[in-house]
C-alpha cells in the first residue's frame, strides 16, 4: 500500500522573534518493509533546509531563520510505500527468554534495557505491574501481547490529558493519556522484564474497518520489542494491535526525547502561544505501473507568501 502524508506544524509567537533554529524528524524511514519514495519539507518564512542521518538512521532536517518573524510554519509532504509484514506467530519457543538474557549479558542492547528519560521506573509503574500481575510468562511474545491488552483495558485515551513533557506518573495516576504516554509505560515495563524495547514515532492510517480509538489529524507513537527469531515487532498499546501495514514509521529511539517531530530554540522575549497547531492528513494512493518511477527528494524549500532568550519548542505525539 502507498500512502501520502501531509504534516503541517505552526508555531505562533506573542511578539515577533529575531531568530529560529530548528530540526525536524518528519521523513518516514526506508527499511525492509517500508520505503519513502518522495519527501519535501518547506518553511514559512522560507529557509534553506539541510539534512543528515542520526546514529539510528533517522532522517533529520534542520534550518535557521535569522530574521524577525511572528509565526513559523513547517509543511512536510511524503509518499510512502508500506509492504505487508510477516505474520506474527501466537507464541515463541520456551527457550526464548534464555536467548533474550544472552542478549542482555552481551551488552548489545543495554540502552534499550535501561530506564530512560521518559520510560523511567517509578513507584507508580511498579504498582501497575503488581496490579496486572506482570511477570515473565510462557514466552516474551505472549507476555508483551498480554501487557498490551491490559494497558488497553485499563487506560483511557484522552487527548490533552497530558503535556509533551509529562512523565509517566501523570498518566499512571490518572489512568488516561495519549499514545506517547502509553508507549512510554509499555516500554518501561517491557524493559523491566528484560526485553529490549524502543520508541517509534510515526503515523497511523485509519481505514473504515479499523477500530482505532486514537483520532485523526495528529502523529502517532508505539513501541517495538526485540524478539528472538522475529526481530523487532511493533506493539501499539493505544489501539491494542500489533503494528502492521497501516503504521508508518518515521523515527526510532529510546523514548520521545530522542525523536520529537520538531525541536528548536528561538531568540527573543516572546512566548510560544499554547495553541500550537499541528495537522496531519494521511491517505492511500493507487499503486502505479511497475515501470513508473517516483523521484526521491530529500529536502525542498519554497518561497511562500502568506532581548535574547532560548526556548525549546516541541510537539507531543497526540494519538
Evaluate if residue 96 carries a pLDDT over 80: yes
Q: How far apart are CA 243 and CA 12, in angstroms?
A: 34
For the chain, where do the domains classified as CATH 2.60.40.2250 start and end? 2-82+260-285
Q: How far apart are CA 109 and CA 112, in angstroms?
A: 5
**Cell match 526464548: residue?**
96
Evaluate if residue 275 carries a pLDDT over 70: no
For the chain, where do the domains classified as CATH 3.10.620.30 start and end? 96-258
**Cell match 488497553: residue?**
152
Residue 25 makes CB contacts below 8 A (sequence gap 6+) with: 58, 59, 60, 61, 201, 250, 251, 259, 260, 261, 262
Evaluate if residue 290 carries a pLDDT over 60: no
Per-residue confidence (pLDDT) for residue 278, from 0 to 100: 65
User: Phi and psi at residue 144, in whole multiples of 5°?
Assistant: -70, -35
Q: How far apart are CA 24 and CA 7, in angstroms?
A: 11
DSSP 100-160: HHHHHHHTTTGGGTS--SSS---HHHHHHHHHTT----SSHHHHHHHHHHHHHHH-EE-TT
Confidence label for 314 from pLDDT (cuts 50, 70 and 90): low
Confidence label for 307 from pLDDT (cuts 50, 70 and 90): very low
- For the chain, what percent of residues have pLDDT higher than 90? 75
Evaluate if residue 300 carries a pLDDT over 60: no
> Radius of gyration of the chain from Cα atoms?
20
Average pLDDT for the chain: 88
| Structural domain 96-258, CATH architecture | Roll (3.10)
Buried b / exposed e along 119-137 (16+ C-beta atoms within 10 A):
beeeebbeebbeebebeeb
Q: What is the pLDDT of residues 208-266, one digit of tens each?
A: 777 788 767 779 999 999 999 999 999 999 999 999 999 999 999 999 999 999 999 99
Q: How far apart are CA 128 and CA 54, in angstroms?
A: 34
CATH number of 2-82+260-285: 2.60.40.2250
Q: What is the pLDDT of residues 112-169, one digit of tens each?
A: 999 999 999 999 999 999 999 999 999 999 999 999 999 999 999 998 899 999 999 9
Amino acid at each position: 500500500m502507498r500512502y501520502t502524508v501531509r504534516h503541517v506544524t505552526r508555531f505562533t509567537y506573542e511578539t515577533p522573534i529575531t531568530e529560529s533554529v530548528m530540526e525536524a524528524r518528519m521523513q518516514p524511514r526506508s527499511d525492509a518493509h517500508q520505503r519513502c519514495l518522495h519527501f519535501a519539507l518547506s518553511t514559512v518564512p522560507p529557509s534553506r533546509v539541510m539534512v543528515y542521518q542520526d546514529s539510528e538512521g533517522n532522517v533529520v532536517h534542520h534550518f535557521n531563520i535569522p530574521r524577525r518573524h511572528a509565526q513559523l510554519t513547517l509543511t512536510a509532504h511524503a509518499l510512502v510505500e508500506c509492504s505487508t509484514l510477516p505474520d506474527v506467530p501466537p507464541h515463541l519457543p520456551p527457550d526464548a527468554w534464555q536467548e533474550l538474557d544472552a542478549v542482555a549479558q552481551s551488552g548489545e542492547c543495554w540502552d534499550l534495557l535501561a530506564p530512560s528519560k521518559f520510560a523511567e521506573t517509578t513507584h507508580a509503574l511498579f504498582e501497575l505491574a503488581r496490579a496486572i500481575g506482570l511477570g515473565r510468562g510462557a514466552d516474551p511474545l505472549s507476555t508483551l501481547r498480554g501487557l498490551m491488552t491490559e494497558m488497553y483495558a485499563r487506560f483511557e485515551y484522552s487527548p490533552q490529558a497530558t503535556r509533551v513533557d509529562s512523565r509517566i506518573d501523570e498518566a499512571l495516576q490518572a489512568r488516561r493519556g495519549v499514545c506517547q504516554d502509553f508507549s512510554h509505560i509499555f516500554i518501561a515495563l517491557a524493559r523491566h522484564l528484560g526485553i529490549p524495547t524502543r520508541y517509534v514515532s510515526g503515523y497511523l492510517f485509519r481505514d473504515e474497518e479499523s477500530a482505532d480509538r486514537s483520532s485523526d489529524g495528529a502523529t502517532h507513537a508505539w513501541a517495538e520489542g526485540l524478539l528472538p527469531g522475529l526481530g523487532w515487532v511493533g506493539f501499539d498499546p493505544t489501539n491494542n494491535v500489533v503494528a502492521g501495514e497501516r503504521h508508518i514509521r518515521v523515527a526510532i529511539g529510546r523514548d520521545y526525547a530522542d525523536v520529537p517531530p520538531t525541536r528548536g530554540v528561538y531568540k527573543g522575549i516572546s512566548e510560544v502561544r499554547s495553541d500550537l497547531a499541528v495537522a496531519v492528513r494521511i491517505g492511500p494512493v493507487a499503486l502505479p505501473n511497475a515501470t513508473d518511477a517516483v523521484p526521491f527528494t530529500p529536502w525542498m524549500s519554497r518561497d511562500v507568501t502568506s532581548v535574547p532568550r532560548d526556548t525549546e519548542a516541541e510537539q507531543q505525539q497526540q494519538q
